[in-house]
Structure 1
Amino acid sequence: MAEPGRQEVVRRVRELLARYRDPAQVDGLGDDEPLAVLGIDSVTLITVAAELHQRWDVTIADDAVLDPEASVASLAAAAVAPGGAGDRPGGRLDVVGMGVVAPTGHGVPALWDGLLAERAHRLPMPYDAARGHRAGAVAGASAAEVVAPDRLLDLVCLAAGEALGGLDPGRRAGVTLVVGTTDTGGNALGHALAGAGDDQSALAGWVAERAAEKLGLGAAVTVGSASASGAVALGYARDLLLAGDAEEALVVGADTVSKSAFHGLAALRTLGVDGCQPFHEARRGIALSEAAAACLLRRPVPGDDAVLGRLAGYGASSFTTHMAAPESAGIELALRRALAAAALAPGDVSFVNAHGPGTKLGDVAEMRALADVFGDRVRTLPINSVKGLLWHCQGAAGVIESLACLLSLRHGTLTPTTAAEPVDPQWREFDIVTKPRELADARSAVSVSCGLGGVNTAVVWERA
């Protein structure tokens, strides 16, 4: 930034810091003195940075915000004004393959048909059927299959195989596999400890390598970022491709219904016995589901007629003051970063696929973020969530919900938000889609994914 711009950022940073500390102390602190002298920590600075972005569209680099020696001067020096380097679009990627196994069935056609017909497979929760909890399971799966030691690997390979389709086996070695999952091998370890064998192949750190070996792919990476794992994997693959570090990338979001996930979320009191009910006035929490979804990405090739859609932008933030209570400012920051990366204005977005978990706090934070980003248009902007039907697919959610966006763009139809009615009164003026709706002119969509611990992501998709 030019010097006058930097001085303006200094003034605004001081103005915001004065909300958290004695204004006289803030005024008396030198520009180069560490803010830690006043007891200002990174959590406070994250809040200040988010408000700078929200109010004045000024972005401060994350490493500067998290620097223990951060000062007013260092924050201002790391700031990027609107139109600066931080807002330059990073380029688009083509989607050339999709695959899925989910409660709607095997394959992309089954996903689309199931979303429109609101049809999905359920089973009693294997670890807690007595209290009425149920789990989403791949159509036709038995309870024994759902808890099998190699379940995660099997799901990854099924979805990946469909996405790879007829790709020449000779080209597969050039495909980098990126798997997003929360599964830490709970099923495999449980069987091992029970004496059922020592196969720990479902361990999250191994699943990408095992799948790449079975499918004949090249490098393999596993990404874990709670329920946003699949979306973060998309962002990671995007970075690899745009940097020229991969020729093609196959992103797979996948998760099983593990004992550790069930009991951990039960302890946090985020589970509900009624399934996910996004935006419902009586929503009570999430229900878990197994699934895997795959998306094959590559840089655009002139004249390619096999393109299914485009990944136009990605944004993320790590922002929270409580492990299980999302912050609207963090979701807003991810949305703004994604739109900036895609070089799109909020008015360019045709619809939003919301994270929409159906939790008391989560839905409120997300809808507030959407209102802050889209302004008055949020009341006419179509919003849906597929979690009402698929339930929470955990690490698979970010990819399977992205596929839902791509399919809606291709077919010109937005799928309904199952189990949303009656909608919470505070959002009845919003355009929450509860029935299939024709959107023939839809050109772009945003999919939001969030995870425990303050992970927030937004992915922008465009019609081919």
Structure 2
Amino acid sequence: MRRRVVVTGIGAVCPLGNDAVTTWQNLLAGRSGVDFIRGFPVDKLRSDIAASVKGFDVGKYLSPKEADIYGRVTHLSLAAAVEALREAGIAPIQRAPAADDEAAEGAGAAAGSTAPAGGLDRTRVGCLMSTGMGSVDIFEEQVGRSAARGPRAVSPYFIPGVMPNGAAALISMRYGLMGPSYNLASACATGTHSIATSVLMIEAGEADVMVAGGAEAATRLNTVAGFGNAKALAKAVDGDPTRASRPFDRRRQGFVMGEGAGALVLEEEQHARARGATPLAYVAGFGMTTDAEHLTRPHSGGLGLALALERALARAGAAPDVIGYINPHATSTPQGDAAEVLALRRVFGERLARIPISATKSMMGHLLGGAGAVETIAVVCSLRDQLLHPSINVEELDPECSLDVVRERRQVDLRYAVKCSAGFGGHNCALVLERA
């Protein structure tokens, strides 16, 4: 038998809240985190809206020097991981700074013991806290410095600050985690892939505990320009930015860029129970596939995502007819939503029209590499509380999408749920989660 994997902690920083509790409350209430962009000029952009994290205080997590070294995506990642680890009952370790290495001290490195504490062997704990794009803000800033003042103006911390694995390294150093730790990038499937890969590591015995998730903080002038010029972004509807993200709606026009981070503590079930941790849900199965067809467009028939769903169900030992809820990728793009419905129909057949579906992105936009992680947290909360959050802005359901879209929070008797993600490059990942 495979080792069963449970979720023992969740943490989120996103447009709907700076912790998982607030995020879940706002999802249930159907609130939107989308607003107009105010951080840079938008007059020449094709879209002037985004979903941003508000009121985040990095000083709660990093010293001023550390905050300058790391990019915003790493700030958000650390905050989400701290919350998840705290809920799981895993504390940071106390270490003395490495006084002979100023750069290492600023980056958070230190010397200390890695001996088991409180029944936790930290050599058996890893971290796949990932990002699809990395510290875009640091990269832009340092390239700008070089262009304006010459290469000697580039910070010596540029490389550690911009590297995508910075968050995984920082979290591992903070908590003394010596198991598998790195960054996994698969565009908008990054967070979900990190969860699936972490489950695989625990099942294979490579780790007992993994911090898994994804993050993105890439709402910058050039990224918004790039997505906008590709005609992928939505605009405010009748002047209202909160109505722009509308998965499965007939008037959907594109996705809304968002930023944020989601982290989950995943743990072998008996290991969790032995140290007194409370399981929030099981990750019962996963499937990972590739469309192998187009760099940015999903498979027109949804074949790759359907295969990922079938593999996730098979691994979970769950038939399609036991799934009681689907949290889809649902970006609000015309092609993407249509292809996803075809994929779901391949797997669930006519029953699809009777399975409740709600799109988290309708309220917080598309967090790119962080989307799958935060949306998986929403599924964990649904299983824990037996509540489904609504999809907002579904004013007229697309006739091609015959779905049971949840319009208001719904009480359910839910045992199994599915989370789907897809990313540029044709990368697909699906999870089956089970009530604890």
Shorter-chain-normalised TM-score: which range? 0.7 to 0.9
The yes-or-no answer on 1:107 pairing with 2:19 is: yes
| Matched residue SS, 1:152 | helix
Verify: 1:222 aligned to 2:190, yes or no: no
Q: Deviations over 1:389-432 (max 9, x none)?
A: 010011111111111011011111110012222211222x4211
AA paired with 1:209?
Answer: A
Q: Name the SS for the 2:234 alignment partner.
A: coil
Question: Who wins on radius of gyration, i.e. which is larger?
Answer: 1
User: How far apart in 1 are the matches of 2:31 and 2:407?
Assistant: 14
Cα separation, 1, equivalents of 2:283 and 2:431: 7
SS at match of 1:179: strand
**Counterpart in the other structure of 1:454:** 426
Q: Does 1:164 align with 2:85?
A: yes
- Aligned partner of 2:410: which letter? R
Give the 3 Å change call, closer, same or farther, for CA 378–326 of structure 1 in structure 2. Answer: same
1:39-72 Cα distance to aligned partner (Å, 9 max, x none): xxxxxxxxxxxxxxxxxxxxxxxxxxxxxxxxxx
In structure 2, do the counterparts of structure 1 residues 258 and 205 end up closer, same or farther at CA, with 3 Å as the change threshold? farther
Counterpart of 2:214 (choices 253, 257, 271) is 253
- Where does residue 42 of structure 2 map in the other structure? 129
The answer on whether the counterparts of 2:213 and 2:373 sit within 8 Å (CA) in structure 1 is: yes
Name the structure 1 match of 2:339: 365
In structure 1, give the amino acid aligned to 2:163. L
Q: Which residue number corresponds to residue 139 of structure 1?
A: 54
Q: Deviations over 1:107-146 (max 9, x none)?
A: 111011110112244453345522452221113259xxx9
Q: Structure 1 residue 228: deviation in Å?
A: 0.1
Q: Does 1:386 align with 2:360?
A: yes
Distance (Å, rounded) in 2 between the aligned partners of 1:185 and 1:292: 13
| Cα distance between partner residues in 2 of 1:368 and 1:410 | 29
Give the alignment's TM-score, normalised by structure 1. Answer: 0.76
Number of residue pairs matched?
372
Name 1:179's counterpart in structure 2: 129
Identity of aligned pairs, percent? 30
| Rounded Cα–Cα distance in structure 2 between residues aligned with 1:374 and 1:141 | 41
Cα separation, 1, equivalents of 2:33 and 2:399: 30
Q: Distance in 1 between matches of 2:255 and 2:132?
A: 16
Rounded to whole Å, the distance in 2 between the matches of 1:129 and 1:182 is: 24
| 1:273 counterpart letter in structure 2 | K
For 1:397, give the aligned amino acid.
A
Q: How does 1:236-275 map to 2 (within 5 A)?
A: 236-259=197-220, 260-274=222-236, 275=244
1:280 aligned to 2:284? Answer: no
Query: How far is the alpha carbon of 1:262 from its aligned partner?
Result: 2.6
1:137-161 residue CA offsets vs partner (Å, 9 max, x unmatched): 113259xxx9996211111110000
Map 1:68-79; keep pairs closer than 5 Å: none
2: distance between equivalents of 1:282 and 1:147? Answer: 42
1:460 Cα deviation after fit? 0.6
How far is 1:434 from its partner?
Answer: 1.5
Q: Give the drift of 1:351.
A: 0.7
Per chain length, whose mean CA-contact separation is higher, i.e. which structure has more relative contact order (CA < 8 Å, sep 6+)? Answer: 2
Deviation at 1:258, TM superposition (A): 4.0
Write the deviation string for residues 70-120 of structure 1: whole angstroms up to 9, x where unpaired: xxxxxxxxxxxxxxxxxxx85530111111111111211101111011224
SS at match of 1:139: coil
Partner-residue secondary structure (3-state), 1:324? coil
* Contact 2:130–2:184 under 8 Å retained in 1: yes
Q: Look up the equivalent residue of 2:48 and give its one-letter code.
A: H
Which position in structure 2 is the counterpart of 1:21? Answer: none
Q: Alignment RMSD, CA only?
A: 2.3
Residue 228 of structure 1 aligns to a residue whose secondary structure is helix
Task: Decide whether aligned partners of structure 1 residues 261 and 208 sit closer, same or farther in structure 2, where only a CA change above 3 A counts.
Answer: farther
| CA 1:338–1:369: 2 relative to 1, 3 Å | same
Alignment of 1:335-354 (within 5 A): 335-354=309-328
User: Matches of 1:182 and 1:395 in 2, distance apart?
Assistant: 5
- Residue identity matched to 1:129: V
Query: 2:387·2:409 contact (CA, 8 Å) conserved in 1?
Result: yes
* Contact 1:91-1:312 at 8 Å conserved across structures: no
* Contact 1:444-1:463 within 8 A present in 2 as well: yes
Which residue pairs with 1:191 in the alignment?
141
Structure-2-length-normalised TM-score: 0.80
Structure 1 residue 403 corresponds to structure 2 residue 363: no
User: Which letter does structure 1 place at the counterpart of 2:24?
Assistant: W
In 2, the alpha carbon distance for the partners of 1:417 and 1:128 equals 31
Structure 1 alignment gaps of length 5 or more: 1-88
Q: Which residue of 2 aligns with 1:59?
A: none
1:121–1:139 contact (8 Å) kept in structure 2: no
